[in-house]
Amino acid sequence: MPAIAPGSRAFLRRFRAAAKTELHLHLEGSAAPATLVKLSRRLMEPIFPDLESVRARRAGPGSPARFLGFYRDVCRLLRSPADYALVASDLTRRLRRENVRHAEVYVSPAVVERIGLDWRGVAEALDAVFGEHERRGGGRILVLLDSVRHWGPEAALRVLDLHERNPWRRVVGFGLGGDEESVPARAFAGVYARARRLGLAPLVHAGEWGGPGSVADAVKHLSPVRIAHGIGAASDSALVRLLSRKRIVLDVCPTSNVLTGALPDIDDVTRRVRALLVAGVRVTLSTDDPGLFGTTLFGEYRLLAGRGASARELGALAAFSRQAALRTRS
């Protein structure tokens, strides 16, 4: 890694011990490699026979298809609420180690149903783990409902059906993940209107693989308060000005962007993040899928510092994370 400037080194020392906020984090992607091997062996599924097989799936060259296939295989191993609780335990251990005091975690009820499980049972299992984490002083965990974009608007409406029938107070937002180029944003305009009526903050994955056009369409048709990734917007100056004016937050995940093939290297991610900050766009850093990518929140900040990000820029990223955090309704 290139040399880190003294000011940034001082920031990183403080940041390592400081209370942190993480806003772009997927439950299923939080599974530790050892947990994936354990689940695979228990089911006698040769998906992840050993730790080396997990590392091989993580390694490049990255592509959307490669990553989505990796993610599908992880979800195939989750066969019970107890399996979800096991992955949630991986997540909470990491949050405690890193002193993340506020985390917002994407969970996909549509995936839960596709693998034949009852959403309410899974939600109760997760709530038990998250509640224990909080009782032990581990910080607040909120849930963002994640719909799979390439399954279309009907599947997204089903996610809202499940939430409306079994409201979970921990849930504060609704978003779209999956293949952002599969279905246009305008197809989900009615879904997002309903999500707002249910009191859920509108979020969306865009600008990861789809470029600035994907971000512009999401802003136009879905009016999100935060965009997961959004890094593709940096190449369109007019769109950057719009994001700044509307105060839309971009939850960027550098390691993820490189390992999924969204961008060629960390230098490119850093250049874009710094340009967005200079233009007045609110940017945060997160891990996305820390178990699958082998990263940490501290590691994401250290990567950018190693590519020239200043202490002031790193501090802005941390401050925007705190400011953009959602809250439960009273």
* Catalytic machinery residues: 208
Which two three-digit tokens encode residue 270? 């850093």
The long-range contacts involving 44-53, CB below 8 angstroms and separated by at least 24 positions, are: 45/76, 45/77, 47/73, 47/76, 47/77, 48/73, 48/77
Cα–Cα distance measured from residue 45 to residue 37, given in angstroms and rounded to the nearest whole number: 10
| DSSP-assigned states of every residue in 191-208 | HHHHHHHTTPEEEEEESS
32 closest CA partner among 229, 293, 265, 282: 293
Residue type, 154: E
At residue 170, the 3 state secondary structure works out as coil
For 88, the token pair is: 């949630």
By C-alpha distance, which of 105, 111, 82 is closest to 92?
Answer: 105
Q: Is residue 161 helix, strand or coil?
A: helix
CA neighbor of 74 nearest in space, from 326, 325, 291: 291
For 169, which DSSP code?
T
